[in-house]
Copies of this chain bind each other. A is one copy, B any other.
Amino acid sequence: MPVSSPPSVDDIERAVSAIGARPLPLTPVFSSWILDQEADARLHFKMENFMRDVGAFKSRGALNALMNLSERDRAKGVVTHSSGNHGQALAWAAKKFGTRAYIVMPSNAKEIKKRGIREFGGNIIECEPTQCSREDICEQVRRETGALLVHPFNDDAVIAGQATAAWELMRMVPEQLDAIVVPVGGGGLISGTALAAHAFSPATEIIGAEPSGADDAYRSLQAGRIIKNETVNTIADGLRSNLGDKTFAIMRKHVDQILLVDDHEIAEAMRILGERLRAVVEPSGAVPYAAIRKYPDVFAGKRVGIILSGGNVDPDNIPFPRRHG
């Protein structure tokens, strides 16, 4: 499949006004005097973990994907194979439009993930984890129901939707950013961020942050071709995907560097963000701040935007506070 041209500035601006016209309130931008002092930098945190209901930037891409369908297509429903934040976001967006979302997930997925999807009225299609290819089941659902596939990241409308986070960030911060740091999983958020920055603030450096236990983007950009993870080993469960052809093409052109962090550094970043910003940030969301702490020389003296992408921590892993009584 040839790679089509990436979303244009017009596409992003349409996404901004489409999403803004819906009641999707802006997520706030936080800063901290202490964290600035520690980093010797001015840090502007875009708090996507506070995205209403869904708790992650994924609402943006899902909403934009649905808005880019004709009414007739939308009525057929949508399908995806992500059981993470994208699955929840797609169920949420489908509900907004009064249409159906089918989320294909392995039967052994955690109950909390299923609950998140059910709460928004999503239809869960389970498959045996050992036997099924989730892509195949998606295709089957598509054929049987007519539902349209909304890929979690390798989709122009999704990428344009994710671009609105950085667009908001650049509008809300009263100074030009030297760099924006973004987590990298399948590459949807960083591609959108790169396109938005290229259009509105071309001097801003785009820096990806990736767990060293799923460093496919780091290796892919070095090799100049998509290299997949052979194994993944990281607490950042949202960043285990491999890149897609669309996202990789944008990243090659616009991403300046990828910084790697390990799980210990991610956990420490989560703790500090909890203490200093009073924010619950999931492991994947804390990866950019872990990179800022690990590579101080890259950021010293700079004005830095940081996208804290999500806040969905498995409650079993939020012993906060320790259960009392």
Q: Is the CB of A320 within 8 A of B322?
A: no
Give the contacting residue for A263; candidates B268, B318, B320, B324; CB below 8 A: B324
When all copies of this chain in the complex are counted, the total is 2
Complex Cα distance, B311 from A32, in Å, reads: 14
Give the contacting residue for A267; candidates B52, B274, B281, B325; CB below 8 A: B325
Q: Is the CB of B31 within 8 A of A28?
A: no
Q: Is the CB of B274 within 8 A of A320?
A: yes
Q: Is the CB of A318 within 8 A of B317?
A: no
Any B CB within 8 A of the CB of A278: yes
Complex Cα distance, B120 from A32, in Å, reads: 12
- For A274, list chain B residues within 8 Å (CB): 280, 313, 318, 320
Any B CB within 8 A of the CB of A55: yes
Any B CB within 8 A of the CB of A30: yes
Any B CB within 8 A of the CB of A224: no
Give the contacting residue for A317; candidates B55, B278, B279, B322; CB below 8 A: B322
- For A22, list chain B residues within 8 Å (CB): none
Q: Is the CB of A278 within 8 A of B311?
A: yes
- For A270, list chain B residues within 8 Å (CB): 320-321
**Which of A268, A318, A320 has the largest number of chain B CB atoms within 10 A?**
A320
- For A283, list chain B residues within 8 Å (CB): 321
Q: Is the CB of B271 within 8 A of A315?
A: yes
Q: Is the CB of A321 within 8 A of B267?
A: yes
Complex Cα distance, B320 from A275, in Å, reads: 9
Any B CB within 8 A of the CB of A127: no
- For A315, list chain B residues within 8 Å (CB): 271, 275
Q: Which residue of B lies closest to A282 (CB)?
A: B278
Give the contacting residue for A30; candidates B52, B278, B280; CB below 8 A: B52
Q: What is the total number of residues of chain A having a CB less than 8 Å from a CB of chain B?
A: 42
Complex Cα distance, B317 from A319, in Å, reads: 9
Any B CB within 8 A of the CB of A34: yes
Any B CB within 8 A of the CB of A50: yes
- For A53, list chain B residues within 8 Å (CB): 32-34
Complex Cα distance, B319 from A268, in Å, reads: 11
Complex Cα distance, B275 from A313, in Å, reads: 7
Any B CB within 8 A of the CB of A235: yes
Q: What's the nearest-Cβ distance from chain B to residue A133, in Å?
A: 32
Complex Cα distance, B28 from A268, in Å, reads: 26
Q: What's the nearest-Cβ distance from chain B to residue A304, in Å?
A: 17
Any B CB within 8 A of the CB of A171: no
Q: What's the nearest-Cβ distance from chain B to residue A39, in Å?
A: 15
Any B CB within 8 A of the CB of A230: no
Given contacts A275-B315, A278-B280, contact A267 B323 (CB under 8 A): yes
Q: Which residue of B lies closest to A318 (CB)?
A: B274
Any B CB within 8 A of the CB of A10: no
Give the contacting residue for A318; candidates B50, B52, B275, B325; CB below 8 A: B275
**Further pairs besides A28-B28, A266-B324, A274-B318: 4, Cβ < 8 Å:** A271-B320, A271-B321, A275-B280, A275-B318
A contact set with B: CB distance below 8 Å: 28, 30-34, 49-50, 52-53, 55, 119, 235, 262-264, 266-268, 270-271, 274-275, 277-281, 283, 311-313, 315, 317-325
